[in-house]
Amino acid sequence: MPEGVLLSEREGAVLWLTLNRPRYRNALNIALITALDDALAEAASDDGLGAVVIGGAGPHFCSGHDLGSPGRDLEKPFRRVATTWYDHSDKEGAEAILVREDEAYLSIPLRWRELPKPLIAMVHGACVAGGLSLIWPADLIVASEDAYFADPVVRMGIPGIEYFAHQYVMSTRIAREFLLLGDRMSASRAYEVGMVNRVVPRDELRETTARLAERCAARPRFGVALAKRALNAVEDRMGLRDGMSTAFGLHQVAHAHSALTSDDHVGGQNPRSIARDLAPE
Ligand code: ZN
């Protein structure tokens, strides 16, 4: 993995992870996803650690899955901890896309949701598309006033990101608007609709997050782990995983349709065309 795509820093019982591809708005390539997955796996086993914060370097938290940086590494194998799939990197067509997306864009974020310690997302600037699959599995989301959120992938002919949790992080009415219009949602509106826990001025973001992380970290380890199990179980009984599974299948049909009818699997869109189209709210 190229060095430095993820920075890691320990302060007391809190682990601070920083996405570090600022030049590419922290676009998620396999190297970065793997680095995050490794760091969280290590955090899970570290008894001295009580909470994990994920933030981003540079002007934006995360622009989503990497659609066009020089470090785009779609063909790079990733570390598989499960036996669910084989290596996608030497496969073609829908086989390569589905295997990669199922592991990197769905199973891994679902694993992050199962982290037995509080996971806190600290968001500033843009958090778009695949960036949402970093924050929605978290327990708390702290946003600065300049943060905004969007899932613009219907523009690519795709029915929502792989981690299809829209209707669990906001009401289903607002989720319909969020997905079908695909506009920016400001931090203040994200707070109003219940998607984020705190909105603070940018210069207070780290301090507010630190206070919350320290408070979470001070809770008993086993109690926190059990509470997270219970919370996740209830969301699962409400249909989170079933719905995600159906949406993921439809998402793969969309990629295959795009690949069959055009030159790529994302409806001819690229980071620039998406950014141009993402009008402020
Ligand atoms: Zn996809």
Q: 142 in helix, strand or coil?
A: strand
| Residues in contact with 234: Cβ distance below 8 Å, sequence separation at least 6, in sequence order | none
175 is written with which tokens? 């989720």
Contact, 154 vs 172, CB < 8 A? no
| E strand residue ranges, 38-78 | 51-56
pLDDT on residue 80? 64
Q: How many CA atoms lie within 13 A of 149 on its CB side?
A: 34
Distance 252 CA to ligand 1 centre (A): 7
Residue 206 CA, ligand 1 centroid: distance in Å: 31
Q: How far is the CA of 218 from the centre of ligand 1 (A)?
A: 38
CA of 161 to the centre of ligand 1 (A): 7
- Whole-number Å distance, alpha carbon 83 to ligand 1 midpoint, is 21
Low-confidence ranges of the chain (pLDDT < 70): 1-3, 80-82, 279-281
**How many angstroms separate the alpha carbon of residue 132 from the centre of ligand 1?**
13
Question: Contact 154/178 with Cβ under 8 angstroms?
Answer: no
Distance 189 CA to ligand 1 centre (A): 26
Say how far apart CA 248 and CA 163 lie, in whole Å.
8
Query: Is-contact 143 60, C-beta < 8 A?
Result: no
* Spacing, Cα 134 to ligand 1 middle (Å): 15
Closest alpha carbon to 127 in 176, 192, 208, 195: 195
Residue 153 Cα, ligand 1 centroid: separation in angstroms?
9
In whole angstroms, what is the distance from residue 25 CA to residue 73 CA? 16
pLDDT for position 1 = 42
Distance between Cα 261 and ligand 1 center (Å): 16
Rounded Cα distance, 58 and 22, in Å: 5
State the CB neighbour count (10 A cutoff) for residue 51: 28
- Ligand 1 centre distance from Cα of residue 46 (Å): 32
- By C-alpha distance, which of 56, 25, 61 is closest to 272? 25
Q: How far is the CA of 139 from the centre of ligand 1 (A)?
A: 24
CA of 240 from ligand 1 middle (Å) equals: 18
Distance 58 CA to ligand 1 centre (A): 25
User: What is the predicted pLDDT for the residue at 82?
Assistant: 64
pTM of the entire predicted model:
0.94
Q: How far is the CA of 12 from the centre of ligand 1 (A)?
A: 37
pLDDT confidence of residue 3: 53
Give 146 Cα–ligand 1 centroid separation in angstroms. Answer: 27
Gap between the Cα atoms of 230 and 207, Å rounded:
29
Q: How many whole angstroms from 251 Cα to the centroid of ligand 1?
A: 6
